[in-house]
Amino acid sequence: MAKTQTRTAGKKVVKKKEKKNVPHGVAHVQASFNNTIISISDPMGNMLCWASSGNQNFRGTRKGTPFAAQVAAGIAAEAAKEQGVRTVDVRVKGPGAGRESAIRALNAAGIQVTSIRDVTPIPHNGCRPPKRRRV
């Protein structure tokens, strides 16, 4: 038989998130023109924490700025340090403006960057790209 949780005086039973101790991680920086998403995982690919520019209350065109990427990377780095991450390999994907500033923010937050790799998918003449912008 399954055990049932007893509730006393209407209080919720909240399960705390377990803290892992992962000394080395992988930081995935996905920088598009509209947003920057920073995800930090362990070397096996299990997600530890993430942050994005939109998640930090930047809206509209401000989400794609380098400053928004810097703030998001700082938040992700602090959450990763709570999990015990001290060094990261950085994998950057996309053409966005927040690529370099996100890496600098990770370094400034006290996480040592051991390597930087560009994993932007490049087509071998696949789909036709969108038309060029005329500004």
Is residue 32 in some structural domain? yes
Q: Which residues is 29 bridged to in the sheet?
A: 38, 92
- Per DSSP bridges, beta strands 112-118 and 36-41 are unpaired
Is residue 16 in some structural domain? no
Is residue 99 in some structural domain? yes
Alpha-carbon distance values, 5 to 8, 11, 62 (Å): 10, 11, 46
Range of the structural domain that residue 32 is part of: 28-118
Q: Tell whether the model's pLDDT for residue 11 goes beyond 90.
A: no
Task: Please state, in angstroms and rounded to a whole number, the distance separating the CA atoms of residues 105 and 118.
Answer: 17
Q: The whole model's pTM is what?
A: 0.81
Q: Tell whether the model's pLDDT for residue 116 goes beyond 80.
A: yes
Residue 18 phi, psi (nearest 5): -75, 140
Higher pLDDT, 81 or 15: 81
Which of 1-5, 20-24, 25-29, 65-69 has the lowest average pLDDT? 1-5
Query: What DSSP string describes 59-114?
Result: -GGGGGSHHHHHHHHHHHHHHHHHTT--EEEEEEESS-TTHHHHHHHHHHTT-EEE
Strand order from edge to edge, sheet including 36-41: 47-52, 36-41, 24-31, 87-93, 112-118
* CATH number of the domain encompassing residue 71: 3.30.420.80
Is residue 61 in some structural domain? yes
- Per DSSP bridges, beta strands 47-52 and 87-93 are unpaired
Looking at residue 15, its pLDDT comes to 72
Is residue 14 in some structural domain? no
